[in-house]
Amino acid sequence: MKELIANFTQHITEAINISKSSALTPFKGKIENVLICGLGGSGIGGTIISQVVADKANCPIVINKDYKIPAFVNQNTLVIACSYSGNTEESIEMLAQAESKNAVIACITSGGKLLEIAQKNKYNSIVIPGGYPPRAAFGLAFPPLFFLLSHYHIIAFDYVTQLNNVVKLIGAEEGNMVAEAKTVTEKLFNKIPVIYADSWFEGVAVRFRQQINENAKMLCWHHVIPEMNHNELVGWTTKNEKLAVVLFRNKDDYFRTQKRMEINKTVFSKYTSTIIEIFSKGNTRLEQALYLIHLGDWISYLLAEKKGIDVTEVDVITNLKNELSKI
């Protein structure tokens, strides 16, 4: 896992090259909405890209993480099925429903049933290298989403340059990021992380929560600002030094949201002494998001290492899948 995290920028570059060389059938129609289907490590890319391109996409992008798809899906919907293994049962079921509604279908996978279906039906697909834990393949699975959205005329900006800028940024900052991750790890050890971020960066908070869950085998939760100010903030009423607040921040977050964060800190400080602020680097929302994601990945790995546990082990999920396979 350490090597896979360290290879994050290499994965991005590889994914760009794979996507560029993928033979996609031209599309001349008009897409009215997009549904990205995927779960866990295969689904987080959809969550993040929907926020990164929200101010650039020419139609709504909805993320679906279930067995059933929304009723609005029709022949004018682009459905992107994402399953790293190609065998995620929920994704396969969603794909079948999308087919029944004559949706436009594209796939991102490394193989399995999803690739078989895509090849049989000649769906546009981008095939990425397999064999990794899905959560460690984010750098491979995320960039293809941009290429598909561009191919179907949903976005029209220079995302390749921005992705390449991420590679340069993280390459220059890697040492500093690992050092910061080590500092944060010491503060989070034996704590329960409570993760907050600007609403536009909820995907970053979700990714960090998932990585803490899977890599460090720890429970935690997340929320976004300003929404949490209308409910969860009232829950801060009991002193608990086991809680550790993590605030993901960007210097260009909306100014009123930044003010809310400052006020929130005064509330948190009454009930825990551990408040960690992690600021992004980068000039675009995409660069900032991937910077924070990579830093969070390092923290999750270092927490597992400090706990002395197997970072790649997910036996409880494997057992769940085995039990479901009996049905």
Q: Domain coordinates of the chain in residue numbers? A: 2-157, 161-307
Using alpha carbons, select from 90, 103, 38, 7 the residue that is nearest to residue 320. Answer: 90
Separation of alpha carbons 2 and 6, rounded Å: 6
Fold match between 2-157 and 161-307?
yes
44-14-294-175 Cα dihedral, nearest 10 degrees: 180
Task: Determine the residue type at 133.
Answer: P
Residue 72: what pLDDT?
Answer: 97
Write out the CATH class of domain 2-157: alpha beta
Question: pLDDT at residue 288 above 90?
Answer: yes
Separation of alpha carbons 95 and 85, rounded Å: 15
Residue 313: what pLDDT?
Answer: 84
Of the residues 28, 120, 122, 230, only one is catalytic, namely 230
**Token pair belonging to 4:** 């896979």
Separation of alpha carbons 287 and 195, rounded Å: 20
For domain 161-307, give the CATH number. Answer: 3.40.50.10490
322 or 17: which leads in pLDDT: 17
Separation of alpha carbons 247 and 144, rounded Å: 29
Sorting pLDDT into bands at 50, 70 and 90, what band is 246?
A: very high
pLDDT tens sequence across 173-196? 999 999 999 999 999 999 999 999
Separation of alpha carbons 15 and 19, rounded Å: 6
Tell me if 267 sits within 8 A of 236, measured CB to CB: yes
Distances (CA, A) of 123 to 1, 99, 106, 167, 241: 32, 11, 6, 30, 52
3 part of the active site:
no
Task: Determine the residue type at 125.
Answer: S
Q: Looking at the DSSP assignment, which residues form a beta bridge with residue 222?
A: 195
Of the residues 202, 214, 223, 294, only one is catalytic, namely 214
Which positions ≥6 away from 299 have C-beta within 8 Å? 181, 184, 185, 188, 208, 211, 212
Sorting pLDDT into bands at 50, 70 and 90, what band is 27?
A: very high
173 part of the active site:
no
β-strand 124-127 against 77-83: which pairing, if any?
unpaired
How remote is the C-alpha of 275 from its chain's centroid?
Answer: 24
321 part of the active site:
yes
pLDDT tens sequence across 90-138? 999 999 999 999 999 999 999 999 999 999 999 999 999 998 999 999 9
Owner of token pair 């800190």: 265
